[in-house]
Amino acid sequence: MSKDNLIEKYLSNRLTEAEKQQFAHWMASDEDFQREVAFHENLQRVTRAHERQQLKQRLQELDQQTNAKQPPARPQRGRWLGLAGLLLLMCLSVYWLCNQPSNPEKIYAQYHSPFPNSLQPVSRDRSDGSLESRAFLFYENGRYEQALQQFESIAKDNPRPDFGFYQGLTLLQLERFEEASELFEALKESDTQYRAEVHWYGALAHIRLGQLDEGRSNLRSLQQIRPDYKKEAIERLLNEF
Amino acid sequence: MNEDKQLEQRLRQDDKQALETVYLKYKDAFIAYVRKHQLGTSDALDLYQDAIIAMHQQFVSKQVVLQRSNLKTYLFGIGKNLLLKQLEDKKRPRPASMPPEREEPLPLDESPLTEEQRLLLKHFGSLSKSCQDMLKLFYYRGLSIKEIVALTNYKDENTVKSHKSRCLKRLTEFIAKK
């Protein structure tokens, strides 16, 4: 068994007794192997820490959303809740300051999340076989290459801005940012129910390409057309670059 | 399968929606519980988030299957351990009503990151989302290449292997450039 395979099995606790002996032997006698194992162990620890940070952020956002939906508290309690909110906001601000991204790729990774299919409900058992259904079936299953082919055919046969938006999202998933940003630009003034989203994902595509001015301009237009859409995220993002 | 068991199953599959459901389900009860021990609301909320995350990571990385506890008692057990540790750090006495929790494991990650790991974390954050996702499937969730193929839309094992090596290469390049 190769050293790489042995490390892979070690990391997922799947070594057999014989493999454990082989592993111990190399750990005792091979410095390169030791370094390699240390690197992978560190990476295991680091992926946990990274995931932890992301989960914490997600839960804080969830709290903000649910707090916003709740009716105002009684005056006496309100003061304390207000203070707690302020503290939470301060913690969030410190968190954001400490984690300010330093490059477009990082900013993109931090703000981009896949957009769900809300256009064409897909039933796996009763697909009608149309291009649209196939496109979304692939999209929902994360088979973006195939989804893109279907969206391209839709664009050729019967172009509609809403489907164009999902074609752009698919390009983002495939990390074809140049094409995605061009498509979102073209859709900005079209008649689509996803006008705000087109601006948001368009901005992210520009940012990912390092076209920060274009990204900023998209976000500012978005603030004009839908002031409530991702309000805080946009403000934070605008402060990041 | 009852609702709790279904949630547990989804947590093992790293389902974030399930995590949010559990989070909202027990939030008020947990905060009321720890506030009895002189912890302010924002500290209690912070502690609750830490407990939820620790619980989730146990399910994802260790594939824990609950035998004697249910989700609530497991979560509260972890939370209680975290609270006791916090009181100990602040040199405050352990509440008499709260005996040490022996049945539930302490969460992962209790030790702070080393300098080397902090640097690695910084560079990991600079990787593309698809690289972060790939490396997390392997290192965080502990899935084998074969399992990753089954779970994702990568064509085959070779595609997964080559994407993973490209991501590792990028990471080592970032480190070399520091």
Tokens of A196: 């705000």
d(CA A61, CA A67): 10
Tokens of B48: 């609750």
Predicted pLDDT of residue A101: 47
Q: Which pLDDT tens digit goes with each residue over A60-85?
A: 888 888 777 665 545 455 566 777 77
**Residue numbers in B near A108 (CB within 8 A):** 129
Asked if residue A240 lies in contact with residue A107, where contact means CB atoms within 8 angstroms, the answer is yes
Q: Which pLDDT tens digit goes with each residue over A128-177?
A: 678 888 888 888 877 888 899 999 999 888 888 999 999 999 999 998 99
Nearest CA of chain A to the CA of B11: how many Å? 13
The stretch B34-58 carries a mean pLDDT of 84
Put simply, the answer to whether B140 touches A47 (Cβ < 8 Å) is yes
What is the maximum span of chain B, computed from C-alpha positions, in angstroms? 58
Average pLDDT, chain B: 85
Nearest CA of chain B to the CA of A191: how many Å? 31
Hey, is the C-beta of B128 within 8 angstroms of any chain A C-beta? Answer: yes
Q: Which pLDDT tens digit goes with each residue over B113-147?
A: 888 998 999 899 888 888 999 999 999 998 988 99
**Residue numbers in A near B61 (CB within 8 A):** 48
Q: CB under 8 Å to B76, separation ≥6 — which residues? A: B26, B30, B33, B51
Exposed/middle/buried for A25, CB within 10 Å: 0-12, 13-18, 19+?
exposed
Amino acid at the residue B148: I
CB pairs under 8 A between A and B: 111
Report ipTM (2 d.p.). 0.89
pLDDT of residue B100 exceeding 60, the answer is no
Exposed/middle/buried for A166, CB within 10 Å: 0-12, 13-18, 19+?
buried
**Residue numbers in B near A110 (CB within 8 A):** 125
Asked if residue A212 lies in contact with residue A104, where contact means CB atoms within 8 angstroms, the answer is yes
Nearest CA of chain B to the CA of A36: how many Å? 12
Q: Which pLDDT tens digit goes with each residue over A170-205?
A: 999 998 998 999 999 999 888 888 899 999 999 999
User: Nearest by CB to A50, which of B16, B125, B142?
Assistant: B125
Predicted pLDDT of residue A64: 83
Nearest CA of chain A to the CA of B153: how many Å? 6
**Residue numbers in A near B112 (CB within 8 A):** none
Q: Would residue B177 be called left, alpha or beta, if left means φ above 0 and alpha means ψ between -120 and 50 degrees?
A: alpha
Predicted pLDDT of residue A241: 78
Radius of gyration of chain A (CA): 24
* CA-based nearest residue in chain A for residue B55: A52
Please give the C-alpha separations between residue A184 and each of A13, A199, A208, in angstroms, as whole numbers: 46, 7, 14
Predicted pLDDT of residue A158: 85
Put simply, the answer to whether B153 touches A144 (Cβ < 8 Å) is yes
Put simply, the answer to whether A142 touches B152 (Cβ < 8 Å) is yes
The stretch A85-114 carries a mean pLDDT of 73
The stretch A78-106 carries a mean pLDDT of 69
Please give the C-alpha separations between residue A153 and each of A1, A62, A147, A182, B14, in angstroms, as whole numbers: 47, 38, 10, 18, 35
Predicted pLDDT of residue B102: 46
Predicted pLDDT of residue B19: 95
What share of chain A has pLDDT > 90, as a percent?
A: 38
What share of chain B has pLDDT > 90, as a percent?
A: 46
Helix (H) or strand (E) holding B31: helix B16-35
Supply the pTM of this predicted model: 0.57
pLDDT of residue A235 exceeding 80, the answer is yes
